[in-house]
């Protein structure tokens, strides 16, 4: 008898055949009542608390397949035989790509449409936001910075003092796309050239590496997601992560024109051929519930999308979040152009 289990598979092992070879019963157990298959680009450990709470509350087993790259391509390749029930991604653009490719389906859920405002779900109910995060400034704790705009990253006074991950990473591509939406392509290209000129090292690594390199004296400031700070500052005393977190302060940048801060989402859709559709809907509904949103806030240090959920003290210490009013779907329109500009200025070289 084959039983389902939580698993993480390498990116190339996502077909039904590969799932079966990994010990997952796709044809029988995975399609039985009480289970569902989640394909996610999100690091498994970041969603584990929510999934464990869901399993305990609903009695539905979640089989997690971590897909670092190429989720859309694999969903298309698996087609009607895909065991996927839910797709979860960490960028609005990637979520829209799944919808536009026809590998998702709209669902009817009074819970989701009641909890989520219109700007955090699609009009057709084929994608839904689960949490928010903002792109903030990590700065050396001893620096005196009263306010900061994203445009300031290109100020020559920061020459040789900026650390940032690759411009082609979705987190930064989305930010660059927002800059295009606000200021136009020409101004954004000039801005990217300025940020590149200010780099203390090659644009690479992850967001935590920005804090690491600030502690190491490589740079003074950098752009990264807010929730990593909570993980670092609450890490075990004496650990590297704790040292990195203690070395930085967080300043919330804004766009010069809008006065708002750039945000992105974790979001999800139900797969077009979901063999466990009812369970998939149940998972999405649970993830916007009060208990799950409290976990997003306190276990993941993100911003809940449900009103009335208290922030973690670390997140709350960053001050009031004034979200950039530009719709996420509008920003997503400029992702391709943003990617092209990154290559044009050699940002990641």
> pLDDT at residue 29 above 70?
no
Judged against a pLDDT cut of 50, whether residue 17 lies above it is answered with no
- The candidate with the shortest Cα–Cα distance to 41, out of 11, 17, 12, 20, is 11
Angstrom distance (rounded) from CA 306 to CA 293: 7
Residue with tokens 């959920």: 309
Looking at 3.50.50.60, 1.20.140.10, 3.40.190.10, 3.40.50.300, the CATH number of the domain 16-132+264-311 comes to 3.40.190.10
**Taking 90 as the threshold, does the pLDDT of residue 3 lie above it?**
no
Question: How are beta strands 263-271 and 248-251 bridged, if at all?
Answer: unpaired
Domains 16-132+264-311 and 134-261+317-344 are alike in CATH topology: yes
Lowest mean pLDDT among 15-29, 270-284, 304-318: 15-29
Share of the chain above pLDDT 70, in %: 91
Query: What are the phi and psi torsion angles at 275 (to 5°)?
Result: -75, -15
Q: What is the DSSP string of 276-287?
A: THHHHHHHHHHH
Backbone angles phi, psi at 68, to 5 degrees: -65, -45
Task: Provide mean pLDDT across the span 150-169.
Answer: 97
Pairwise CA distance, residues 220 & 211, whole Å: 9
Tokens of 191: 């801005």
Which pLDDT band, with edges at 50, 70 and 90, does 49 fall under? very high
pLDDT winner (highest mean) among 117-121, 190-194, 317-321:
190-194
Domain boundaries, the chain: 16-132+264-311, 134-261+317-344
Question: Please, which pLDDT band fits residue 119 given cuts at 50, 70 and 90?
Answer: confident
Assess whether pLDDT exceeds 70 at residue 206.
yes
- At how many degrees (to 10) do helices 170-183 and 185-197 cross? 130
Question: Residue 28 burial by CB count (10 A; 0-12/13-18/19+): exposed, middle or buried?
Answer: exposed
276 band by pLDDT with thresholds 50, 70 and 90: very high
**105 near 86, Cβ under 8 Å?**
no
pLDDT-derived band of residue 43, with 50, 70 and 90 as boundaries? confident
Q: Which two tokens stand for residue 162?
A: 């900026």
The correct answer on CATH 3.40.605.10 for the domain covering 134-261+317-344 is no
Average pLDDT in the 263-287 region? 97
pLDDT band of 31, cuts 50, 70, 90: very low
pLDDT per position as a tens digit, 208-252? 999 999 999 999 999 999 999 999 999 999 999 999 999 999 999
Residue 25 has pLDDT above 90, yes or no: no
Are 115 and 309 spatial neighbours (Cβ–Cβ below 8 Å)? no
In tens, the pLDDT along 81-113 reads 999 999 999 999 999 999 999 999 999 999 999
- Burial string for 248-281 (b: 16+ CB within 10 Å, else e) reads bbbbbbbbeebebbbbbbbbbbbbbbbbbbebbb
pLDDT above 90 coverage of the chain, percent: 85
> For all residues of the chain together, what is the average pLDDT?
90
Contact 49, 231 (CB under 8 A): no
pTM of the model: 0.85
Using pLDDT thresholds of 50, 70 and 90, give the confidence band for residue 44. confident
Residues 6+ apart with CB under 8 A from 142: none
Tell me how far apart the alpha carbons of residues 173 and 118 are, in angstroms, rounded to a whole number. Answer: 24
227 labeled part of a ligand binding site? yes
Residue, of 10 and 39, whose pLDDT is higher: 39
Average pLDDT over residues 50-54: 96
At 13 the pLDDT is: 40
- 33 band by pLDDT with thresholds 50, 70 and 90: low
Alpha-helix runs per DSSP H in 83-184: 92-100, 110-115, 170-183
């Amino acid at each position: 008898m084959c039983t389902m289990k939580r698993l993480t598979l390498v990116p190339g092992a996502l077909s039904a055949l590969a799932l079966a070879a990994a010990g997952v019963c796709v044809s029988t157990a995975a399609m039985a009542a009480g289970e569902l298959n989640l394909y996610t680009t999100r690091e498994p450990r970041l969603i584990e608390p929510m999934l464990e709470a869901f399993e305990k509350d609903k009695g539905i087993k979640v089989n997690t397949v971590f897909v670092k790259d190429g989720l859309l391509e694999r969903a298309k390749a698996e087609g009607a035989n895909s065991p996927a029930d839910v797709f979860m991604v960490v960028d609005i653009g990637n979520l829209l790509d799944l919808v536009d490719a026809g590998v998702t389906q709209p669902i009817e859920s009074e819970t989701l449409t009641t909890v989520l405002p219109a700007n955090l779900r699609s009009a057709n109910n084929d994608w839904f936001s689960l949490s928010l995060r903002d792109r903030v400034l990590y700065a050396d704790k001893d620096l005196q910075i009263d306010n900061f705009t994203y445009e300031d990253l290109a100020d020559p006074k920061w020459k040789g003092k900026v650390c940032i991950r690759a411009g082609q990473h979705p987190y930064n591509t989305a930010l660059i796309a927002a800059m295009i939406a606000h200021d136009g392509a020409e101004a954004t290209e000039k801005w990217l050239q300025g940020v590149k000129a200010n780099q203390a090292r090659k644009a690479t690594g992850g967001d935590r590496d920005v804090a690491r390199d600030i502690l190491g004296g490589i740079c003074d400031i950098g752009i990264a997601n807010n929730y990593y700070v909570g993980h670092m500052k609450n890490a075990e005393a004496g650990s590297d992560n704790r040292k990195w977190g203690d070395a930085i302060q967080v300043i919330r940048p804004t766009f010069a024109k809008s006065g708002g801060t750039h945000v992105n989402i974790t979001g999800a859709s139900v797969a077009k051929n979901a063999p466990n559709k009812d369970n998939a809907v149940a998972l999405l509904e649970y993830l916007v519930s009060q208990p799950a949103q409290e976990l997003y806030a306190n276990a993941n240090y993100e911003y809940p999308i449900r009103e009335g959920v208290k922030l973690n003290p670390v997140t709350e210490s960053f001050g009031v979040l004034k979200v950039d009013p530009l719709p996420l779907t509008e920003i997503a329109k400029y992702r391709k152009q943003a990617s092209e500009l990154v290559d044009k200025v050699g940002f990641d070289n």
